[in-house]
Amino acid sequence: MRVQVAIIGAGPAGLTLGRLLERAGVDAVIIERRSAEYVLGRIRAGVLEQSSVDLLEAIGVGGRMRQEGIPHDGVELSFDGDMLRIVFQDLVGRKVMIYGQTEVTRDLMDARAATGARTIYEAENVSLHDLDGASPKVRYVKDGVSHEISCDFIAGCDGSHGISRASIPESAIQTFERIYRFGWLGVLVDKPPVADELIYAHHERGFALCSMRSHTRSRYYIQVGTEEKVEEWSDDRFWDELRARLNPDVAERLQTGKSIEKSIAPLRSFVAEPLRFGRLFLAGDAAHIVPPTGAKGLNMALQDVRVLAEALVEHYTERSNAGIDTYSARVLNRTWKTERFSWWMTSLLHTFPETGPFGRRIQRAEFDYLAASRIAQQSLAENYTGLET
């Protein structure tokens, strides 16, 4: 098979890129290791920046999001029970949209199926070849048969453990990483959310987050040590610990129930540089990871592929490589600002035993500064709702 662009991975990055290219008349195929059902079974974040909402609308997959998504004007922060509402709408004139990554993925998959765009699911042993030549190749095995696709470009949208980044010679890539000594234990429950907006809580027992997927389905998280095992967390133990970390009035209102999903995710900050090797481009989680505290992972992935699609379309329609040549620098510039914000939110809201009482006083001062300064709140709001560039 020959295509213009081979996209590795059918997560939000790969599917959105596929849609953007399809609409611009660029011939692309997506190669995904898992089945569509498996991809849809992953529970991921659920906050979309305005720019993500705009992008999904622009590519014609905004219909259900418009109906079922919940616009939020702000978020609440809680510090040892003291509450502070950050009203994005007043501070920066923007909102965010609550709509799960699973739903975004489903909408993109449905749109792809409707137009007959090609996705090869359950592709085994995916490997990339001749990345620095004129015609790179993707090889894979499907149902026991080996296949080869030759193309002009490969988009590595295969997440943090994918084959794309791993195919770049070590001497051609630099990585930057921070591992946190804790993870998030998340629970999904079919109960109405405890509040109308998200609550990010710092408590001496650790961080907690009250989030939601709809008016009837809630998502809660608590900070736990990396050595903790999900089996050791019964629903009752989880709810008791969550309540202990919230403002007492909020804890009182919490509606608990049987969890329908429970898992622990480690926290990590990671960036690869550059995001290009020959004719391979990295986008989304393949390029960078943020701790989930700022809800940025999905939004970054969508913005990366918006820039990548522009660059590829420019190559085909204007015969210009300007966009391709500046892709890495443009995306990295934005990436590092978003890494900074996600790291900052993480630093403010979690407990870090290693920083001692001094560290906690600094966190308290940061919260008090936010509470008293509209300028500080504007900075949070500007970053949370999404930086322009």
| Residues of the shown chain interacting with ligand PHB in the complex, contacts defined by CB under 6 A | 45-47, 198, 211, 219, 292-295
Contact 309, 327 (CB under 8 A): no
Least distance (Å) between residue 31 CB and ligand APR: 5
**Contacts with ligand APR, residue ranges (CB under 6 A):** 8-14, 31-34, 39, 44-45, 101, 123, 126, 157-159, 162-163, 284-285, 297-298, 301
Q: Give φ, ψ of 32 to 5 degrees.
A: -125, 135
Return the SS3 of 158: coil
When CB distances are held under 5 to 8 angstroms depending on the partner's kind, the choice from ligand PHB, ligand APR, none that residue 46 binds is ligand PHB
Least distance (Å) between residue 285 CB and ligand APR: 4
- Report the C-alpha gap between 199 and 72 in whole angstroms: 12
Q: Which is nearer to ligand PHB, 56 or 280 (CB)?
A: 56
Catalytic (active-site) positions: 72, 200, 292, 296, 384
- Report the C-alpha gap between 11 and 154 in whole angstroms: 15
When CB distances are held under 5 to 8 angstroms depending on the partner's kind, the choice from ligand PHB, ligand APR, none that residue 219 binds is ligand PHB
Q: Which is nearer to ligand PHB, 5 or 56 (CB)?
A: 56
Q: Which is nearer to ligand PHB, 203 or 219 (CB)?
A: 219
- Report the C-alpha gap between 56 and 23 in whole angstroms: 13
Least distance (Å) between residue 334 CB and ligand APR: 15
Produce one character per residue of 112-142: b if its CB has 16 or more CB atoms within 10 Å, e if not: beeeebebbbebeebebeebeeeebbbebee
- Look up residue 186 and give its two tokens: 């998340």
Q: Which is nearer to ligand APR, 161 or 361 (CB)?
A: 161
Least distance (Å) between residue 292 CB and ligand PHB: 4
Longest Cα–Cα distance of the chain, Å, equals: 64
Amino acid at 136: P
Residue nearest to ligand PHB (CB): 211
